[in-house]
Amino acid sequence: MTEPLVTESTGLTPEQRLGATEPALITAGIVTIHDLETLQACVAYENQHRQRVPVLRRLAQRASELREE
């Protein structure tokens, strides 16, 4: 069995960040992404599992914010 991809210092997997059904929890998972590697892992997770357009849009917005920093 493979270990889930854990990125960044928070130690959260993309599933832990995006697996909730509650929009506020998903938003919290996204705003606490602080690097593009983690963000890319979350986009890959979302594309592979749920493909929710609003979540992908929010991830794209967060990517823009990170690039501006």
pTM (2 decimals)?
A: 0.84
CA angle 32, 57, 19 (to 5 degrees): 55
CA distance 4 to 10: 14
- For the stretch 2-21, pLDDT in tens is 555 555 556 889 999 999 99
| pLDDT computed for residue 69 by the predictor | 87
Read off the pLDDT of residues 11-56 as tens digits, 9 standing for 90 and up.
Answer: 889 999 999 999 999 999 999 999 999 999 999 999 999 999 999 9
DSSP result, 1-37:
-PPPP--TTT---HHHHH--SSHHHHHHHHHT--SHH
Q: Where are the domains of the chain?
A: 14-68
Which pLDDT score, from 0 to 100, does residue 13 have? Answer: 92
Q: Is 12:42 a contact under the CB 8 Å cutoff? A: no
The answer to whether residues 18 and 29 touch, using CB atoms and an 8 Å cutoff, is: yes
